[in-house]
Structure 1
Amino acid sequence: MKFLVDAQLPRRLAVHLTELGHDAVHTLELPDQNRTSDDDICSVADAQNRIVVSKDSDFRDTHILDNTPSRLLHVATGNISNTELLALMDAYLEEILQAFDHSNHVELHLTALVVRHR
């Protein structure tokens, strides 16, 4: 699976996903790095068939209203440590991957994974 991890999440998450065999990039790897606009993040993700991974509710809103980005993993955990985030991702990763087989919007919460259907 291909991911684009937004600036509000640690680069370590992209590295971790890559170590697990996925194609993951962080906004720091884009030309404008963490200053990349949301529109540009969506354009890059959609052009490269990547899932945007973000805590930013703006992505959730534009996905719902305009279907951009076309695929979104919204991290709705509140503030947690990077270690807790990676452990949570590990715990739900298989379910996340399966969810994107039939959905384009998944929310990761502290105690649940919510799959949104249109």
Structure 2
Amino acid sequence: MKFLVDAQLPRRIANWLNEAGHDALHALDLPLKNLTPDNEVISHAKQDGRIVVSKDADFVQTFLITGEPSLLLISTGNINNTELEKILHANLFGIEAAFVSSRFVEVTRDALVIHE
């Protein structure tokens, strides 16, 4: 799977996804780096067939209106990066399976939510 990790998440999430066998970029890899506006993140994700990984509710609104881009929403609230990685690691197979049939998946502290 191809991912684009948004600016407010650490680069190490993209690195970890790459180590898990995926093709992941971080916003820092884009020309405007962490200053890349959401609409350009969306454009880049659509162009490359990437799933946006974000905590930003603006991406949810865009998805609900346009159906794009595919979205992995991180809804854990305030959490340290190590705990976030543990949650993502524990849910990776579920995330992969969910994106076979869905374009919007949400990870909370306690659950994996597949949105229709």
1:80 equivalent in alignment to 2:79: yes
Runs of 4 or more consecutive aligned structure 1 residues displaced over 4 Å after TM superposition: none
1:110 equivalent in alignment to 2:109: yes
* Partner residue in 1 for 2:23: 23
Question: By how many angstroms is 1:65 displaced?
Answer: 1.1
* Partner residue in 1 for 2:41: 41
* Partner residue in 2 for 1:3: 3
Question: By how many angstroms is 1:68 displaced?
Answer: 2.4
- 2 CA distance for matches of 1:74 and 1:81? 16
What is the aligned residue count? 116
The answer for unaligned runs of 5 or more in structure 1 is none
- 2 CA distance for matches of 1:20 and 1:97? 11
Q: Deviations over 1:63-103 (max 9, x none)?
A: 0112222x000000001010001100000000000000000
Identity across the alignment (%):
52
From the two aligned structures, give the one with the greater helix fraction.
Answer: 2
Q: TM-score, normalised by structure 2?
A: 0.98
Q: RMSD of the TM alignment (CA)? A: 0.5
- 2 CA distance for matches of 1:20 and 1:66? 30
Kindly provide the amino acid, as one letter, of the partner of residue 94 in structure 1.
Answer: F
Q: TM-score, normalised by structure 1?
A: 0.97
Indicate the SS of the match to 1:8. coil
- 1 CA distance for matches of 2:102 and 2:17? 20
Kindly provide the amino acid, as one letter, of the partner of residue 23 in structure 1.
Answer: D
- 2 CA distance for matches of 1:104 and 1:68? 8
Kindly provide the amino acid, as one letter, of the partner of residue 44 in structure 1.
Answer: H
